Amino acid sequence: MPTIAATSSPPPTAKDWPDNEQELLAFGPTRTPENYWSLKDAFEGVQIFGATGSGKTSGSGQAIARAFMEGNLGGLVLTAKPDEILSWKAYAKAYKREPDLLIVEEGSPHRFNFLRYELQRPGRGGKHTENLVNLFYSVLEAAEKRQGVGGNDAYWQRTLKQLLRNAIDLSLIAADDVHLPSLYRIIVSAPRSFDETVDENWKGRSVCSALLELAAGQAELKGRVNDWEMTRDYWLLEFLSREKMGQPMNAFVLDRKGNIELEDFYVRGKLQSPGGEDPGAILSVVVDTIQPAKGDVRFKRA
């Protein structure tokens, strides 16, 4: 692909584009609508067709790129061709736009946080956890297909989305932000046993624990108490379901309706057959049913 010599470059042109009919490219000697390509036309999209090697990129594509550069326009260029980066560096140099060229690639100081972009974008659907989960999952699927791995096991898909949903919610409620490093730290520092959830050493080194504590104070202020309770229960009840099923545990009676709280763990649930005990009474109970995804746990008497 040919490059552009900086010595023959035109002077940089700064345009504010007051009129959408302003000319970007001219196709004929007379200025009639069919003989020029305007800013308005550019916003309506363009497609270039041609066989392999016919010059789509080096011909029409280069002409459009030059017009954008000369017109002081910005944009996003997505490419899988390494030499295409060199071409855009040449375009930027030719039109004195090098400071405007930001290259996102391995080893580059620039990054694009696609999760934060989705979180902060205006409009309908912005800031929705489920949209963030689906976006992350789509990126993950694309990466797996590129590497020739992946599968369609519905159980693992649900499990992964459940993990992502609760990690994202915890990050948003606690810190109003989300990015891959924070999600990674939440997941790898989650309790590996139910007993660890009350271990002070784990609490002192765990990002998951720190964010759970921070989110507890933020949930009501942000109107997300229900979301906070569900994500808290997810991280705690996942391990309750794995390690404490069938084991007797002491619980405080909270009211005469059968609501109880485990003595050693901050987990509340419902007693299947309330006996009318006074609030404050201590019962020996075992887990009857538990649904971590819904934050629901039911107990029965031991």
Task: Give percent of the chain above pLDDT 90.
Answer: 27
157: its two tokens: 């898909």
Cα separation values, 166 from 140, 170, 190, 239, Å: 17, 6, 11, 14
90 has a pLDDT exceeding 90:
yes
Please give the pLDDT value at position 106: 85
pTM for the structure as a whole:
0.64
Q: Which residues pair with 296 in a beta bridge?
A: 291
Task: Parse the chain into domains and list their residue ranges.
Answer: 6-100, 114-241, 247-301
> Is 260:249 a contact under the CB 8 Å cutoff?
no
Q: Taking residues 138-166, what's their average pLDDT?
A: 76
Give residue 245's pLDDT band: very low, low, confident or very high (50, 70, 90). confident
Give residue 143's pLDDT band: very low, low, confident or very high (50, 70, 90). confident
Q: How many alpha carbons fall within 13 Å on the CB side of residue 243?
A: 12
Tell me phi and psi for residue 289, to 5 degrees. Answer: -135, 150
> Is 166:234 a contact under the CB 8 Å cutoff?
yes
Give residue 4's pLDDT band: very low, low, confident or very high (50, 70, 90). very low
178 has a pLDDT exceeding 70:
yes
187 has a pLDDT exceeding 50:
yes
The domain made up of 247-301 is a member of CATH 3.30.420.40: no
Rounded to 5°, the CA angle 195-200-206 comes to: 90
Task: Give percent of the chain above pLDDT 70.
Answer: 87
231 has a pLDDT exceeding 80:
yes
Please give the pLDDT value at position 1: 38
Could you tell me where the DSSP H helices lie in 74-153? 82-94, 114-120, 129-146
Q: In this structure, are strands 268-271 and 296-301 parallel, antiparallel, or unpaired?
A: parallel
Fill in the DSSP letter of residue 190. S
Enumerate long-range contacts of 4-9, CB under 8 Å, 24 or more apart: 4/90, 4/91, 4/93, 4/94, 5/94, 6/93, 6/94, 8/94, 9/93, 9/94, 9/95, 9/96
